[in-house]
């Protein structure tokens, strides 16, 4: 079966607009095309992290264009040496383009990590939640029925293929605020919105006492495990809208 291909330029401008990159001008990540590879794109790889392992798999799998949540360029490139130099050389040598989408892919109402987390966890979306760089990047939603924490955490672990750490402050799970990755500071929004359970990726010791005094249960489901859904959703969209071949490159960190 003949697959479509597209010029790199067209794909980049399509993604810049579809993923609403302009919504987050203050992101530390340089969102968009970070490393320019070959001129035509037939196959797109999707991954959470830009790293040596991902680049090797992408090359093996015949990927022309790699879209990641965590790119290589953050807050101004200072030098290209050591690990950073090797990573960029691997991409330039293989002709693979690297495209990063950080905060817009946490927030995005259609393809974002947090909208997707709500969907897979069967939470009815109620509103935005979790301010970061002046904009709410997460969502909160309602469970169908009130649940015990341990039951809900089991469901989270099964759905996201993860092992969460959690603190149960004996609130039944009804209104759940969700911010993927290292989003613990979003807990400050919980009181105002009446959230009883806060789910994020990375564990934070600082969140404990705040959560206790607010009476909010905490779930840390893993940074990686909460951030695979966005890139996967973008892959599905590229397959459907542009007919491109796509492949998710999985490399769980367990963190």
**Interface contacts to Zn ion, rule CB under 5 A:** 181
Residue with smaller CB distance to Zn ion, 45 or 181: 181
Dihedral of the alpha carbons of 82, 86, 92, 97, in degrees to the nearest 10: -100
Closest separation in Å from C-beta 23 to Zn ion: 17
Residue with smaller CB distance to Zn ion, 8 or 233: 233
Residue with smaller CB distance to Zn ion, 173 or 219: 219
Closest separation in Å from C-beta 7 to Zn ion: 30
Closest CA to 148 of 159, 156, 140, 138: 156
Dihedral of the alpha carbons of 168, 130, 105, 84, in degrees to the nearest 10: -80
Phi/psi of residue 177, each to 5°? -95, 135
Residue with smaller CB distance to Zn ion, 41 or 103: 103
Closest separation in Å from C-beta 107 to Zn ion: 12
Task: State the residue number with the nearest CB to Zn ion.
Answer: 181
Closest separation in Å from C-beta 142 to Zn ion: 25
Residue with smaller CB distance to Zn ion, 37 or 201: 201
The answer to whether 222 and 160 are in contact (CB under 8 A) is: yes
Closest separation in Å from C-beta 74 to Zn ion: 11
Helix (H, G, I), strand (E, B) or coil at 169: coil
Residue 48: which residues within 8 A CB-CB, separation 6 or more? 68, 69, 70, 224, 227, 228, 231, 251
């Amino acid at each position: 079966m003949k697959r479509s291909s597209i010029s790199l330029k067209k794909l980049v401008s399509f993604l810049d607009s579809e993923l609403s990159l302009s919504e987050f001008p203050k992101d530390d990540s340089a969102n968009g095309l970070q490393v320019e590879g070959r001129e035509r794109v037939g196959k797109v790889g999707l991954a959470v992290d830009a790293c040596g392992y991902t680049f090797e798999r992408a090359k093996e799998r015949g990927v022309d264009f790699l879209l990641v949540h965590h790119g290589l360029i953050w807050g101004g490139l200072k030098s290209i040496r050591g690990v950073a130099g090797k990573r960029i050389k691997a991409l330039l040598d293989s002709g693979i383009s690297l495209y990063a989408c950080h905060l817009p892919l946490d927030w995005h109402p259609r393809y974002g990590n947090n909208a997707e987390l709500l969907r897979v966890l069967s939470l009815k979306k109620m509103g935005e939640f979790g301010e970061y760089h002046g904009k709410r990047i997460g969502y909160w939603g309602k469970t169908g029925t009130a649940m015990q924490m341990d039951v809900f955490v089991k469901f989270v672990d099964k759905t996201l293929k993860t092992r969460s750490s959690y603190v149960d402050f004996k609130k039944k799970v009804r209104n759940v605020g969700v911010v993927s990755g290292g989003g613990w500071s979003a807990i400050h929004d919980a009181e105002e919105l009446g959230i009883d359970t806060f789910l994020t990726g990375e564990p934070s010791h600082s969140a404990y006492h705040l959560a206790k005094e607010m009476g909010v249960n905490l779930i840390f489901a893993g940074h990686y495990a909460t951030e695979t859904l966005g890139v996967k959703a973008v892959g599905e969209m590229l397959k459907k809208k542009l007919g491109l071949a796509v492949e998710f490159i999985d490399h769980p960190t367990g963190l």
